[in-house]
Structure 1
Amino acid sequence: MNAARDVRTRLLLVVLSAVTLALAVATIGFNVLLAASTDGSASSLLRQRADSERGQLRIVGGRIQQSEGSSDPLGDSRVWIYDSRGRAIERPNARAKTAVAAASLSSGPSRFVTVGSTDERLFSFPIVSRGVRYGTIVAGLSLSPYEETRRTALLASLIFAASVLAITGAAAAWLLRSALRPVFVMTQQAEAWSEHDLDKRFELGEPHDELTRLGHTLDQLLDRIAASLRHERRFSAELSHELRTPLAKLSAEAELALRRPREPEEYRRVIGDILANARQIARIVEALLAAAHQEAGPRGIADATEIASAAAAACRPLADERGIELVVVPSQRLRVGVDLDLAERIVHPVLENACRYGGTRVQMSLARGDGVVVITIDDDGPGLTEGEEERIFEPATRGDAGVSSGPSAGLGLALARRLARSVSGEVLASDGAPGARFVVRLPAA
């Protein structure tokens, strides 16, 4: 599997990207706030130092003098004192650039100046007494400790962010691997089952979370695949079984006709037999295809009288050919919860069977039962012998009365019952004495 397309890898990359972005914003924000805080602290300390120095000075005779008893000699502090003419009264030991910057602050308003090359900050504080300016105090402060603090904090925050990212990545990878492991296993199992054993299921119970819902969905998918394969195998088996006999007959007739020259009338008879077998094959294929199509299609709603009329119209030529009186007993309006075409294909083989074996009369009546519509077909033919009530519904099986009635696929009643059961209906047979009785039950709408 391509690692770039792996769901787990993609999710891990998304998590790491989000955490990296969050850590980057947090780290940058922390260091910006720390820089602002240290900058403010340095400025506040300079103001305090200037105020402290101002408290130690007195104005005597228009001149600036330091109070006696000061415990902080000016020479040891980074403080410059200038008179009103800009001359330095006191100055500390400092670099030349710092001294020049301090001298530039001897006049003008109170302000801050940072000497970049020396990494120092200066603050000027005017000495004013009774509205008269007598000089200026310039306080200085080295920014090196603050810069070191900021560098240390930056390095620590980067190490912390990298550690958090690594721990988060490892935890996310473990969680994703643990969470998606069942999905991977289920996918492999479903793939193996779909090829070798369609009867296997996950059976995780009622779906209550993502994994159980996935298992339920896969079980349904396997059910549909298994049903499709069963239908395909049944269709292939029925097609093979039903076509074997007519194809053998067709081949035998053709081979027999080609063995020696025959009279035109004999050729016509052979060609007629071949045509009859070909038509029988066509009927078999059509019936099987219709059954497969109807079983896969959705149900609908139809009028029971229309169903009976459609089936009677389809069987009318056969009934007229055999001199059978085909009667449909009128009834009240009944609705069936099955599509008209499907319902007609269920009733038609049963009615056709009655017309084929009936003596003089076939009657079809409609009635409502307990949640079903009952279509009863009675004929006055030879009826059913004992044990035939179920056997005649088996594919390629005919009753005693049908053995000598001519070629037939023996598939009509079997398909009728299978289609009826596919829509929760049923087709039953019994001996009517005289004749036979068939009952078709379809769900009422």
Structure 2
Amino acid sequence: MNVASRIPIRWRLTLWYAGLLAMVIVLFSLTLYVGLRQILYSMLDESLHQQAALVASTIQVVNGVPDLPGSNARDFTTGEHFVRLTDLSGRTVDGASSVHGRLPVDQAGLSQALSGRFSMRWVSTDGEQMRVLSEPVVSGGQIVGALQVGTSGTEVVETLQFTVLLLAIAGSLILLAASLGGLWIAGRVLQPVDRITGLAAEIEETDLSRRINLNLPDDQIGRLARTFNGMLDRIEGAFRRQHQFTADASHELRTPLTLMQNQIELALRQPRDPEEDRAVLEALAGDLDRLTRLANALLLLARGDDHAIRLHHEAVDLPVVLGLIAEQYGPVAAEAGVTFRLDTEPAMPRADQDRVIQVLVNLVDNALRHSPAGTEIVLGCRTDDAWASFWVIDQGAGIAPEHLPHLGERFYRIEQDRDRARGGIGLGLSICKMIIAAYGGTMAITSSPGTGTSVVVRLPALTAPSEGLAPERKKASAPSATLASTGLQTPARRN
């Protein structure tokens, strides 16, 4: 872990903000300084140009030597400007001798002027900065001397130095004030995060009902709090389902185990005739069958949770499968006074035939369990666009609306359906939902008291024979053979 990661986020935000602001202040100060210096230098140079033009207009050349009238020279050398006029040899003309002591000799500028070039240079003398203009004096097309005009630049230099000092002080104060303000704002903005962190640290596994109620606006922090609350809802629901699942599974396992133990102890305590022993063994076989079905169902659901179920894709002929289901369950239905009615159209989903039969067996078993004598169960299928649908519709007592959202939850059973003698373990619809979802399908259950129940399953339809399926479609196997491999209850085992 580096040092930066140990710094609190409010300080990191403040440092980033202060760093960016410092860069802005420095760039602004540099721009202001360069612009001000350019303006002051331009004003200074412009005054020198004007003074040089004024002096040049009064220069007189006598015998090839430039000269200034004495009265004019004194006028030029008073005030802010200083003037020097030299001949071609660089000697100061006598007419400007009164300023010789005030104007420092700019030898480089003088040499350039005598060679015909113009120059504007800074010259330092006795701790004073002077701006000196040097230009040639031309007469008759010939260079006869040089003119130097200078003025003090101390005021300009001091102005620039004061500007730098002012910018440094003002920038530092602004940066300090902005940093403190940014630190305070960051603390206020992140305060809800600290409260969320504190509340999250207080939430324990034994109490997942607490939520973050800070009345936050609809911003990033508010959405974070709502997302966190949503996550807590899901975690609480998962823990509740896990607890309920464990309790229900333990209860489901304990009941047949207790019955088996009681029957074995009773058989061992007193001698029995063969018929009684046979009855005990049949009861034990029934309890073992229930335990086996429960174990297989739990194993299948666990594999589904881990996405470890092997999915086979093949063409499933739904009319054929529904016909086999009706034929297999015919004797059981006839014994209960229930009839099957087939309402099939060509439909062929892309799925595993054994898994489809497994879903249908669960649905038909539920329908038979809740269908009174003299009613019928409709088994149907059809193709609708890209979906192959099949359904199981009964005319039973129906289901109250408050139970519909919970159908498919593991071990969820309606109170009147808790008769274990009828064979239900509360996992059939959970297995159906898992299998259907694994193939990208949906299952819809509609029901109301007194009108029966309708379960419609939709699976992706087989759209073309080139979807990677085997050339020969597998022949539909009997439901009992399919259930034998899964351990689920077959009609012959129903009591």
Q: TM-score, normalised by structure 2?
A: 0.62
Q: Does 1:107 align with 2:114?
A: yes
AA partner of residue 34 (structure 1): L
Question: What's 1:84 paired with?
Answer: 88
Deviation of 1:157 after TM superposition, in Å, equals 1.8
Q: Does 1:31 align with 2:38?
A: no
**Structure 2 unaligned spans of 5+:** 308-315, 348-354, 382-389, 398-412, 434-441, 459-495
Deviation of 1:139 after TM superposition, in Å, equals 1.7
Q: Tell me, in whole angstroms, the C-alpha distance in 1 between the residues paired with 2:230 and 2:27.
A: 47
Q: Tell me, in whole angstroms, the C-alpha distance in 2 between the residues paired with 1:13 and 1:264.
A: 90
Q: Tell me, in whole angstroms, the C-alpha distance in 2 between the residues paired with 1:426 and 1:201.
A: 37
Where 1:38 maps in the other structure, the secondary structure is helix
Question: What's 1:433 paired with?
Answer: none
Q: Does 1:347 align with 2:378?
A: no
Cα-to-partner distance string for 1:328-378 (whole Å, 9 max, x where unaligned) = 21225599xxx96796365244246379x98xx98522589xxx9671267
CA contact (8 A) 1:186 1:215 kept: yes
Where 1:123 maps in the other structure, the secondary structure is strand
Identity %: 22
- Following superposition of structure 1 onto structure 2, how do residues 199-214 of structure 1 map, counting pairs within 5 Å? 200=211, 202=213, 208-214=218-224
Q: Does 1:177 align with 2:187?
A: yes
AA partner of residue 245 (structure 1): T
Q: Tell me, in whole angstroms, the C-alpha distance in 2 between the residues paired with 1:113 and 1:428.
A: 102
Q: Tell me, in whole angstroms, the C-alpha distance in 2 between the residues paired with 1:59 and 1:284.
A: 127
Question: What's 2:342 paired with?
Answer: 330
Deviates more, 1:98-107 or 1:177-186: 98-107
Q: Tell me, in whole angstroms, the C-alpha distance in 2 between the residues paired with 1:120 and 1:103.
A: 15
CA contact (8 A) 1:243 1:281 kept: yes
Deviation of 1:166 after TM superposition, in Å, equals 2.0
Q: Tell me, in whole angstroms, the C-alpha distance in 2 between the residues paired with 1:210 and 1:3.
A: 22
C-alpha RMSD of matched pairs (Å): 5.4
Cα-to-partner distance string for 1:206-257 (whole Å, 9 max, x where unaligned) = x954344334433432332232222212211211221112222344556678
CA contact (8 A) 1:253 1:270 kept: yes
Structure 1's 185 and 84: CA in aligned 2 closer, same or farther, altered over 3 A? Answer: same
Q: Does 1:233 align with 2:243?
A: yes
Q: Does 1:161 align with 2:163?
A: no
CA contact (8 A) 1:315 1:351 kept: no
AA partner of residue 148 (structure 2): V
- Following superposition of structure 1 onto structure 2, how do residues 313-324 of structure 1 map, counting pairs within 5 Å? 315=329, 319=332
Question: What's 1:394 paired with?
Answer: 415
Where 1:87 maps in the other structure, the secondary structure is coil
Where 1:78 maps in the other structure, the secondary structure is strand
Question: What's 1:435 paired with?
Answer: none
Q: Tell me, in whole angstroms, the C-alpha distance in 2 between the residues paired with 1:26 and 1:296.
A: 61
Structure 1's 295 and 173: CA in aligned 2 closer, same or farther, altered over 3 A? Answer: same
CA contact (8 A) 2:208 2:236 kept: no
Structure 1's 268 and 98: CA in aligned 2 closer, same or farther, altered over 3 A? Answer: farther
Deviation of 1:13 after TM superposition, in Å, equals 3.2
- Residue of 51, 55, 69 corresponding to 1:66: 69
Q: Tell me, in whole angstroms, the C-alpha distance in 2 between the residues paired with 1:290 and 1:199.
A: 34
Structure 1's 342 and 441: CA in aligned 2 closer, same or farther, altered over 3 A? Answer: farther
AA partner of residue 82 (structure 1): T
Q: Tell me, in whole angstroms, the C-alpha distance in 2 between the residues paired with 1:252 and 1:95.
A: 129
Q: Tell me, in whole angstroms, the C-alpha distance in 2 between the residues paired with 1:332 and 1:203.
A: 57
Q: TM-score, normalised by structure 1?
A: 0.67
- Residue of 376, 385, 392 corresponding to 2:394: 376
**Structure 1 unaligned spans of 5+:** 384-391, 403-407, 431-437
Cα-to-partner distance string for 1:126-182 (whole Å, 9 max, x where unaligned) = 333454544322123343333322222222222222222222222322333222323
Structure 1's 363 and 62: CA in aligned 2 closer, same or farther, altered over 3 A? Answer: closer
Cα-to-partner distance string for 1:363-413 (whole Å, 9 max, x where unaligned) = 522589xxx9671267xxxx9xxxxxxxx94288329xx5xxxxx66535x
Question: What's 2:461 paired with?
Answer: none
